Amino acid sequence: MRGRLELEERHRGESPVDMSGAEFRRLGHLLVDRIGEFFDSLPERRIAPGDPPKSVRERVGFAGLPQRGASADALLEETAQLLFDHSLHNGHPRFLGYITSSAAPLGALADLLASALNANLGKWDLAPIACEIESQTVQWLAELIGYPTPCGGLMVSGGNMANLHGFMAARKAKIPWDVRTTGVCGKAQPSTVYASHETHTWIEKAADTSGLGTQAIRWIASDDQLRVDVDALARQIAQDRAAGYLPLLVVGTAGNVSTGAVDPLVELADLCEAENLWFHVDGAYGAPAAALPEASAELRALERADSVALDPHKWLYSPLEAGCTLVRDAATLEDAFSFQPAYYHFADAAAKDPGLNYYELGYQNSRRFRALKVWLGLRHLGREGYTRLIREDIALAERLYERIAAHAEFEALTQHLSITTFRYVPDGVSREVAGAEAYLNQLNRTLLDEVQRSGEFFVSNAILDGRYALRSCIVNFRTSAGDVDAMPEVIARKGRALDARLRPEELR
């Protein structure tokens, strides 16, 4: 009875979740105004809010699930304030940590548009125009980095997923039995995959998730530039074949996380060709730099990969989340992921062009319109715009390296792509004295905490041959030459104060 009564009171346009166009415009304008102010205020804000974890939790509060609803006006106003005042601002001009970029404001609008439309790109006929835009985005990304088109591919959430999709395509393509039915243990021959120690941790998740297990990873040594040692790799493959293993794929990284070094992709491509192995390139960070005419031959050799992982939410400035897997042979993704259940209707292929069913190319079933912000970004800036931004970021990183090298209290360590690593070495600490290295590591680790907490700059760290280094990665269109020039002295000042407190007697 109750149900019937409620249904009779339910009229179109009166649902509590719905909003009229006028109401949406009013609220939307208020929020967009706040966001516009936020963008303008970014340079004046602290990068890190500096709140201790306990106080962050208190900001959110400990109330239980609200029993009754509240007005959208108040909620949006309060939430925008909460987020703007208590977040770590990776869009700040002096945020140079990890590989987290500033996000294009147009991307935020694109996400709004995508959410308003709410297209489901799992299946072509649910979102025909959106799927075609995703398909064009994938081809454009390939074109941008010089990967041969037409190619296959799809948008995913980020670099980890982009790499995982490439890995799974390789697993299906290179295991000679029906691995999707019988699993990796279908035959007793264990598979192996090859990656350097510098490979991002996605490889462990992929080895685990794919059923190969992390033991399947053959960790190959790197040279002093942190590039994989191809001779050691070739020896390991030969040894594994002799021992009865089934080598599947080799990972080359186009811009590693620590230093931005690019693996010798030309030699890796040659080796994979000779050994009939799948060649996967992790270009989550560095692939967009292949768009530069002056890019190295090594980097441009990503064009020879069977699959490439890209991360538009890094150097292409898309808001999170946007990753992309490219595969040379489009059929390999479908082979790796497609199932056709009875509850999905498939148009008679002869009757019309069925288009792409993205759910058959990857893990996701329902999929949001991630491609839109990437597509609009590519149209907004064009190849020229992106080339210029990437080139500037690299030039800024080189400038930082020079400034650091010229500063008496720093040791400049590495510079590749837009990553610069260095460490603070105070006056009077002789590297020859026992304990000096341990002290420098401790000092730089503490210094990093201090810098991050200060809210003035945000850098991260790298461990280079046992040395604890500070690491600046410029994937930030807001960073200027002035920011870069200011950094050494800001950090040195904190370093001096720490050194005065921390240096042990024997090193004085």
Task: Report the interface residues with ligand PLP, using CB under 6 A.
Answer: 99, 158-160, 163, 200, 202, 253, 256-257, 282, 284-285, 311, 323
> Is 99 or 302 the residue whose CB approaches ligand PLP more closely?
99
Q: Are 160 and 363 in contact (CB under 8 A)?
A: no
> Is 152 or 260 the residue whose CB approaches ligand PLP more closely?
260
Closest contact distance (angstroms) between CB of 203 and ligand PLP is 9
> Is 160 or 415 the residue whose CB approaches ligand PLP more closely?
160
List the end-to-end C-alpha distance of the chain, in Å, as a whole number.
85
> Is 191 or 259 the residue whose CB approaches ligand PLP more closely?
259
Closest contact distance (angstroms) between CB of 201 and ligand PLP is 8
Residue whose structure tokens are 């509850």: 343
> Is 263 or 306 the residue whose CB approaches ligand PLP more closely?
263
Note every long-range contact of 424-427, with CB atoms under 8 Å and residues 24 or more positions apart, other chains counting: 424/470, 424/491, 424/492, 424/495, 424/499, 426/495, 426/496, 426/499, 426/503
Q: Are 285 and 255 in contact (CB under 8 A)?
A: yes
Q: Residue number with the shortest CB distance to ligand PLP?
A: 159
Closest contact distance (angstroms) between CB of 415 and ligand PLP is 17
The conformation of residue 430, written as its DSSP 8-state character, comes to: -
> Is 152 or 312 the residue whose CB approaches ligand PLP more closely?
312
> Is 313 or 403 the residue whose CB approaches ligand PLP more closely?
313
Nearest to 98 by CA among 262, 223, 284: 284
Query: Please, what is the angle between helix 265-275 and helix 230-242, to 10°?
Result: 20
Q: Which residues pair with 280 in a beta bridge?
A: 251, 307
Query: Cα–Cα distance between 424 and 399 in angstroms, integer?
Result: 17
Q: Give 64-111 as a DSSP string.
A: ---SS---HHHHHHHHHHHHHHHS--TTSTTB--TT-----HHHHHHH
Closest contact distance (angstroms) between CB of 409 and ligand PLP is 30
Closest contact distance (angstroms) between CB of 311 and ligand PLP is 5
Closest contact distance (angstroms) between CB of 199 and ligand PLP is 8
Closest contact distance (angstroms) between CB of 433 and ligand PLP is 37
